[in-house]
Amino acid sequence: MNSNFKLGSAYILICLIWGSTWLAIRLGLDSLTPFIGAGSRFLIAVLVFYLIMKIKKLQLQTDKESIKLYIQLGFFSYLIPFGLVYWGQQYVASGLASVIFGIFPFFILINSKFRLPNENIGLLRVIGMIIAFCGIVIIFIEGFYKDFSFSVYGELAILLSAMMQAYTAVSIKKHGHHLNPWTMNLLPMLIGGVGMLLIGFIFEDTSKLIFDEKAILSVLYLGVFGSVVTFTAYYWLMKKINVILLSLVAFITPIIAIFLGVIFLNEQLEMKHIIGSVFVLAGLLIANVMQFKKDFSKPKN
């Protein structure tokens, strides 16, 4: 199979699934509290990863560098960042949260500039990122103005989450080339899952828990597809492509979430959604124009 096709398919798969997780989380929160729902999701993912490792006869890498990366992933990509996002969204509208987390690719760019000297940034990529981010702002502009001053602490929590995840992603890109994408998430998600459940059972109102069909399907989807499939593909892609290009997924998923809301939740599609989506797509094209030229200039077999 053509390598570019495999890379493109994995990228599209991540965008589609992560775009749908907003819908799955929203449906799950009708029955589960945030931290218990998130913790259950990660523990389901851990079980699936363990079964895959057994079937494929994969061994967990336990060298010093791997353990260090597992701990960093567990705390600074899953437990703390996801906790900050779930906590922050109690005080910040989801639209504004998407705008704030849209800063994630810029943190990736800054980290790459100083920690990954071989990563190609380029002026067109920066311009494209700015245009795409403007598209996200256009989509959520009303919620941005309405809720900007509602809770600075919630906004800072989401911003801090984006910063942590960006730093950890660049760390994996820099030091994690030897890690197997199937095995590297087992211990980190175990840290995230157990930590989330402990927080949930200690601080959340467990009397509100309802283990109905909606809750079970939400947790299973988020655990298997939203965690196992996407994070395996994400870290596989990280070894193959520019980490800045990979981070642009953060601009695409809100658009997918909007259209899924229109289809499944009968939400209204507005002109700002269309205009903003055009900006995002234009920005992504500009950000990747040099990569397209490089690919098309390759000799055909």
* DSSP letter, residue 208: G
The pLDDT-based confidence of 296 (bands split at 50, 70, 90) is very low
The pLDDT-based confidence of 185 (bands split at 50, 70, 90) is very high
Task: List pLDDT tens digits, range 26-70.
Answer: 788 888 888 999 999 999 999 999 999 999 999 999 999 999 999
Task: List pLDDT tens digits, range 131-176.
Answer: 999 988 888 776 655 544 546 788 788 889 999 999 999 999 999 9
| Tokens describing residue 267 | 């939400």
pLDDT given at position 141:
74
Distances from the Cα of 101 to the Cα of 53, 84, 248, 262, 283, angstroms: 32, 12, 11, 22, 17
Query: Helices 123-139 and 94-101, interaxial angle, to 10°?
Result: 170
Residue type, 44: I
**Rounded CA separation 37/53 (Å):** 25
Cβ atoms 201, 150 nearer than 8 A: no
- Rg over alpha carbons for the chain, rounded to the nearest Å, is 19
pLDDT given at position 93:
62
Task: List pLDDT tens digits, range 117-127.
Answer: 877 777 888 89
pLDDT given at position 49:
96
More confident residue, 117 or 240: 240
pLDDT given at position 294:
59
**For the chain, the helix, strand and coil percentages under 3-state DSSP, each to the nearest 5:** 80, 0, 20
